[in-house]
Amino acid sequence: MAIVHRTCPLCEAVCGLTLTLDDGGHVTGVRGDKDDPFSRGFICPKGASLGKLDEDPDRLTRPLVREGDLWREVGWDEAFAAVKAGFERVTEEHGRESFAVYLGNPNAHTMAGALYAGPLIRSLGTRNVFSASTADQMPKHVSSGLMFGHPLTIPVPDLDRTDYLLMLGANPLDSNGSLCTAPDFPGRLKALRGRGGRLVVVDPRRTRTAALADEHVFIRPGTDAYLLFGIVHTLLAEELTDVRLEVNGLAELTEAAKHFAPDVVARRTGVPAEVIVRLARELAGAPTAAVYARIGTCTAEFGTLAQWLVDVVNVLTGNLDRPGGAMFPMPATEGGRRRKPYRTGRWHSRVRGLPEANGELPVATLADEIEVPGQGQIRCLVTVAGNPVLSSPNGARLDRALPDLGFMVSVDPYLNETTKHARVILPPPRVLQTGHYDFALLGLAVRNYTRYSRPLLPLADRPSEGMILARLAVIASGLDGDLDAFVIGQTLAGAVQTPGSGVEGRDADELAALLDGESGAERRLDMMLRLGPYGEWSGRGELSLRKLLEHPHGLDLGPLRPRLPELLTTASGRVELAPPQLIEDVHRLREGLDAEQPAFVLIGRRQLRSNNSWMHNVAPLVGGSNQCTLQINPADVDRLGLDGHARVRSATGELTVPLEPTDTIMPGVVSLPHGWGHSGSVQRVAAEHAGVSANVLTDESTVDLPSGNAVFNGVPVMILPTGVITAH
């Protein structure tokens, strides 16, 4: 028996876990790690099921190759040979511009995603790069890029010190937080209230988070940008602003805000004008305050405008970059950021002409690019840790399009709704065989903190996920060699030439020889830690891989500290309050003021014991509250004479779903969780709890224009009794 520690890889909260392993390497117990200075013993039902997930008998242990409808288990060399043949065939027939890659959500959690997805994309040599980011947080990247100069310069609410938190479209009591890494988010919210702070939640549903808050404000889905503009309008009109930073664009912002007086936006949002005015006054009057908005506001028609206005309010109230406000974390592996104007639309998608953002095209147009013939049509797809058939808007269309590809390879532990279309599936090893460092999420943490977990079990005869991606990159590029050594060489060569870098003028090869680690991934982590802001090569600290290994429970690096103006990389060196691209999109927002209200709109929701599409095969997690039901207000049930089930119809599809009447949801709004729809799955537990896919109903033809992000909230739908047949 052994007691071991590692970070939970299952959500953004990065909790430390303490596992008990028996002599065979099986998990016999999971607890929160009490000695982790950040999570302090917190654990949720998913983390507690890590052992079951790790040894799910339906997880793939060897690569699969498909011939027709038949799957065959093969060895790794044979699998990679099949990939090589597939890549070569499509390259010969259609060229590299016919290649595409889709990176799913777990890439934000895995070391493989952080360290090897970039090189893989470059090796594939295509601009057809898609990811779950355009079904999620791309609006925040775009607003941050335009306001602060870099898409990763994202402020987080200073949760542990703020006096007032206005939260829109987030439900951390179920999701455990997002773009705000905060283990025990529920406890931190209770502490906020305990110290006399105030929590206000804006959501079309009275969620568990809303129930814990001081105040819950119902809002019509998709209208957060109007509400936030109403707040901005009030702050400016009542001269409640306290701008403490160097900013550009205050005049343009004031001009744009004129159209969104509280009584004007009240009609659209359903939030009374006096509530909007009061929220503005409270935000301005609180000693410190932060506005934080997540999925409900991102995956909406005006997602980028909403994310922009969140930070506009933080700036106007004097709360951006100050303790208790919205602050910028300083993660241990942060690299230098060059001053370079942030731009989107450097290229456009072939079929719909949608702009690139962060080097990606919108997943909402992936099916178009596969289906529509012509030069550049996608013929080969690589998916890594993604299930877009269930997760992307109108995923049902993608399900029909994927069989037309010339070749598809998926890196995924499961044969599922998406990977079943692949020719080759390459499964990553078990969780316990995988090291963990949260490169992305620690840059969004409410305290500066770092922790590395080594693999707990040896790899035996399988490659790590990093090795799988590196091998794919080698196959795609045709260039052999040690990818990690190459990246290390390039990075250090740059660092020794960077004035003031801490290693300026030193010898790159000598530095490389000093790196520790049992794998290329560990050596790269060591390099990033040493070069990073607390690193032993930065001249400012002593972090290195060795140091992290001495602290298996993690290291607290202190509370967030103000980082402006140093962190700003805008051309002006100021915070841009009114980026022209966003002011342009305000016209679209104005047009929407008078839009007709559909009778019903669909929104999503997250479930505590679920994770997007892929934790429905773990028996202790499914059932109970974790079911695919349509939440609907009882008044709507009565009015429509519904009983038990209803049909939900949208512009793209129709589903029959079991109803969950609840007065926690606004009349005229219905909520269906996403990630379900496993009927016929080879995952045995999931097939028994199949549910239906909300993304049969979501419409890929509408996107948030500046970011290309998918719209999952505020989808117009009709609700019909099951017995009634109507013409389409």
Alpha helical stretches, state H, 318-464: 366-371, 388-391, 395-401
Q: How far is the CB of 526 from ligand SF4 (least distance, A)?
A: 24
Please name which of 294, 86, 330 lies closest in space to residue 178, comparing C-alpha atoms: 294
Please name which of 434, 457, 450 lies closest in space to residue 526, comparing C-alpha atoms: 450
Q: How far is the CB of 174 from ligand MGD (least distance, A)?
A: 5
Tell which one of 605, 616, 649, 689 touches ligand MGD (CB under 6 A): 605
Tell which one of 19, 79, 132, 289 touches ligand MGD (CB under 6 A): 132
- What are the CA-CA distances from residue 557 to residues 159, 161, 181, 301, 330 (Å)? 16, 16, 14, 38, 9
- Alpha-carbon dihedral 524, 525, 527, 529, rounded to 10 degrees: 170
The nearer residue to ligand SF4, 7 or 299, going by C-beta atoms, is 7
Q: Which does 632 bind (CB under 5 to 8 A by kind): ligand SF4, Mo ion, ligand MGD, none?
A: none
Site string for ligand MGD, 191-210 (x = CB under 6 A): -----------xxxx-x---
* Phi-psi group of 309: left, alpha or beta (phi > 0 → left; psi -120 to 50 → alpha; rest → beta): alpha
- Is residue 11 a contact residue for ligand SF4 (CB under 6 A)? yes
Question: Residue 102 has which token pair?
Answer: 């889709």
Tell me the site size for ligand MGD, rule CB under 6 A.
64
Please name which of 521, 706, 124 lies closest in space to residue 529, comparing C-alpha atoms: 521
Q: Which stretch binds ligand SF4 (CB under 6 A): 43-51, 217-225, 290-298, 673-681?
A: 43-51
Q: How far is the CB of 136 from Mo ion (least distance, A)?
A: 4
- Alpha-carbon dihedral 632, 638, 642, 647, rounded to 10 degrees: -40
Site string for ligand MGD, 73-112 (x = CB under 6 A): -------------------------------xxx---x--
Q: What is the largest CA-CA distance in the chain?
A: 77
Question: Residue 234 has which token pair?
Answer: 């009030």
Site string for Mo ion, 125-164 (x = CB under 5 A): -----------x----------------------------
Secondary element (H or E) of residue 681: none
Q: Give residue 701's identity as a one-letter amino acid code.
A: S
- Is residue 168 a contact residue for ligand MGD (CB under 6 A)? yes
Residues 250-309 that bind ligand MGD (CB under 6 A): 294-297, 299-300
Q: Which does 391 bind (CB under 5 to 8 A by kind): Mo ion, ligand SF4, ligand MGD, none?
A: ligand MGD
- Is residue 13 a contact residue for ligand SF4 (CB under 6 A)? yes
The nearer residue to ligand SF4, 53 or 659, going by C-beta atoms, is 53
Q: What residue number has its CB nearest to ligand MGD? A: 296
Q: Which stretch binds ligand SF4 (CB under 6 A): 44-52, 91-99, 340-348, 656-664?
A: 44-52
Q: How far is the CB of 578 from ligand MGD (least distance, A)?
A: 23
CA 568 to centroid of chain Cα atoms: 23
Task: Give the separation between CA 289 and CA 633, rounded to whole angstroms.
Answer: 33
- Is residue 652 a contact residue for ligand MGD (CB under 6 A)? no
The nearer residue to Mo ion, 136 or 334, going by C-beta atoms, is 136
Q: Which stretch binds ligand MGD (CB under 6 A): 216-224, 374-382, 511-519, 680-688?
A: 216-224
Alpha-carbon Rg for the chain in angstroms: 25
- Is residue 47 a contact residue for ligand SF4 (CB under 6 A)? yes
Tell which one of 331, 604, 653, 668 touches ligand MGD (CB under 6 A): 604
The nearer residue to Mo ion, 298 or 545, going by C-beta atoms, is 298
Residues 179-198 that bind ligand SF4 (CB under 6 A): 183
Q: How far is the CB of 293 from ligand MGD (least distance, A)?
A: 7
**Rounded to 5 degrees, what angle do the CA atoms 508, 358, 341 make?**
75
Task: Give the separation between CA 79 and CA 60, rounded to whole angstroms.
Answer: 14
DSSP string across 434-473 = S-B--TTGGGGBSEEEE--B--SS--TTS--HHHHHHHHH
Q: How far is the CB of 127 from ligand SF4 (least distance, A)?
A: 34
The nearer residue to ligand SF4, 10 or 120, going by C-beta atoms, is 10
**Contacts of 579 by beta carbon, 8 Å cutoff, 6+ apart:** 146, 147, 249, 308
Tell which one of 43, 271, 310, 686 touches ligand SF4 (CB under 6 A): 43
What burial class does residue 406 get, using C-beta atoms within 10 Å of its C-beta: 0-12 exposed, 13-18 middle, 19+ buried? middle
Three-class SS string for 17-61? EEEEECCCCCEEEEEECCCCCCCCCCCCHHHHCHHHHHCCCCCCC
Is the backbone peptide bond immediately before 204 cis, with ω within 30 degrees of 0? no
**Contacts of 433 by beta carbon, 8 Å cutoff, 6+ apart:** 455, 456, 457, 458, 459, 460, 462, 464
**Rounded to 5 degrees, what angle do the CA atoms 239, 245, 246 make?**
105
- What are the CA-CA distances from residue 348 to residues 128, 353, 438, 702 (Å)? 10, 5, 31, 16
**Contacts of 500 by beta carbon, 8 Å cutoff, 6+ apart:** none
- Is residue 14 a contact residue for ligand SF4 (CB under 6 A)? yes
The nearer residue to ligand MGD, 379 or 609, going by C-beta atoms, is 609
Tell me the site size for Mo ion, rule CB under 5 A.
1
Q: Which does 230 bind (CB under 5 to 8 A by kind): Mo ion, ligand MGD, ligand SF4, none?
A: none
Q: How far is the CB of 171 from Mo ion (least distance, A)?
A: 13
Q: Which stretch binds ligand MGD (CB under 6 A): 347-355, 411-419, 483-491, 654-662?
A: 411-419
Tell which one of 44, 271, 361, 666 touches ligand SF4 (CB under 6 A): 44
Q: Which does 47 bind (CB under 5 to 8 A by kind): ligand SF4, Mo ion, ligand MGD, none?
A: ligand SF4
198-234 as b/e, with b when 16 or more CB fall inside 10 Å? bbbbbbbbbbbbbebbeebbbbbbbbbbbbbbbbbbb
Residues 668-727 that bind ligand MGD (CB under 6 A): 674-675, 694-695, 698, 712-714
Q: Which does 13 bind (CB under 5 to 8 A by kind): ligand MGD, Mo ion, ligand SF4, none?
A: ligand SF4
- What are the CA-CA distances from residue 607 to residues 153, 266, 426 (Å)? 29, 30, 29
Binding residues vs ligand MGD (CB under 6 A): 11, 104-106, 110, 132, 135-136, 168-172, 174-176, 178, 202-205, 207, 219, 221-222, 224, 294-297, 299-300, 384-388, 391, 411-414, 416, 428, 465, 603-608, 610-614, 674-675, 694-695, 698, 712-714
Binding site residues, ligand SF4, CB under 6 A: 8, 10-11, 13-15, 43-44, 46-47, 176, 183
Binding site for Mo ion (CB under 5 A): 136
